Amino acid sequence: MSSLSQPTPSWGAADRAWMRRALGLALRSLGATAPNPPVGCVLVRDGRLIGAGRHRFCGGPHAEIEALEDCRSRGEDPRAATAYVSLAPCTRHGRTPPCCDALIAAGVAGVVAALADPIQDDAGAVLGAAGVAYGVGCEAELARQLLGGWLLRVSQGRPRVTAKWAMSLDGLIAGEHGPHALSSAVARMRSRRRRRRFDAIVIGAGTAALDNPQLLALSPPHPARVVISAGAVHAPPPRLVATINQAPLWLVHSQAAADQNLNVWRAAGAMTIAVVDAHDPRQVLAALADRGCSEVLVEGGAQIHGAYLAAGIYDRIEMDLVSQTLARGCSLGAGGMLVPQDWRLAAPPQVYNQTVVSLWDRREEQR
């Protein structure tokens, strides 16, 4: 709290620890709040947690409101508390009333935000006019990592895109006879668990036809399943259709696709999304961003990964390196060469049985 009195706040260890608590809450909502950002909030007074909350779903209470409600349910009074929020509180009426107004009415003494809101950037002015101390920038880099997809969507009109593939020691991502589960069962379970952090999972028409996948997360929320098929010539995969009550099914197609093909998908319950050319990754991603998707996972085969790598639109890569060789099969395809200096290891690799799982981020200078 003392840092808020300084013109340029200097964050202490306690400030950073409380903000990490708020960011941890926000992480639990990643993939569940589209088109809103995932936000967490903790209320602290005299070095003690008195309330915590997170934004759980679009249209639901914001993190600050849930934290205030939690505070009162504990028999605590939020007056004179400091609110640590992963994103500056909103100032305008939307689906819910402004969080700044609620914090002011509750009598909090200060608000610490990890990041300013690029859409509503007047939280400091609103809070300051009411006599509430305000500081921004505590654990900002962690917040930017967490909110990277949402920040990209609101500033550049595109989501953050993560590629996911498994690769054999000889550089192949599929056998010559079609689908082949390369990763260990434990690694595949981990991948399914991580799907819930994405707003959409993208595959190509070929993968959809060959694999007949479900593309569900291990537990809700489930991301939208997106099939890219320029001409919509393949019928909807049965397992995607059978689970449409659990997660939406979207077809992204070129404008030239025949109505008779599109009607088959529509009759199955899929939403069809037209772009000028579905072979253009940027058009596909812009269409997904228009529908509120901030975090997109591409789980397609060699063709789609090769095209997307060549286009330079991957921000992250999740790779499962499997301790086996295939000798024959599919590589990443034309343009699918990884340039090592373009990427940095985002976290220490993890080993699941015979599978080494690594996460890579594109270096900032290569974006």
pLDDT of residue 139: 98
pLDDT tens digits, 113-168: 999 999 999 999 999 999 999 999 999 999 999 999 999 999 999 999 999 988 88
**Least confident among 47-61, 267-281, 301-315:** 301-315
The sign one gets for the Cα dihedral 208, 160, 91, 106 is positive
> What is the average pLDDT across 247-269?
98
Of residues 302, 291, 237, the one with CA closest to residue 264: 237
Give residue limits of the domains in the chain. Answer: 2-146, 158-366
- Residue for token digits 């550089």? 171
pTM of the model: 0.90
- Residue for token digits 């610490």? 112
Question: Are residues 166 and 183 in contact, defined by beta-carbon separation less than 8 angstroms?
Answer: yes
pLDDT of residue 2: 47
Q: What is the CATH number of domain 158-366?
A: 3.40.430.10
Helix (H) or strand (E) holding 78: none
pLDDT tens digits, 69-115: 999 999 999 999 999 999 999 999 888 889 999 999 999 999 999 99
Q: Which residues belong to the active site? A: 64
Of residues 189, 242, 224, 212, the one with CA closest to residue 297: 224
pLDDT tens digits, 3-47: 565 555 689 999 999 999 999 999 999 999 999 999 999 999 999
Q: What is the mean pLDDT of the chain?
A: 91
pLDDT tens digits, 170-219: 777 766 555 556 666 777 788 899 999 999 999 999 999 988 999 999 99
**Spatial separation of the C-alpha atoms in residues 269 and 216, rounded to whole Å:** 17
Q: Angle 302-311/281-290 helices, nearest 10 degrees?
A: 90
pLDDT of residue 167: 82
**Spatial separation of the C-alpha atoms in residues 196 and 349, rounded to whole Å:** 21
Fold of 2-146: Cytidine Deaminase; domain 2 (3.40.140)
pLDDT of residue 340 exceeding 70, the answer is: no
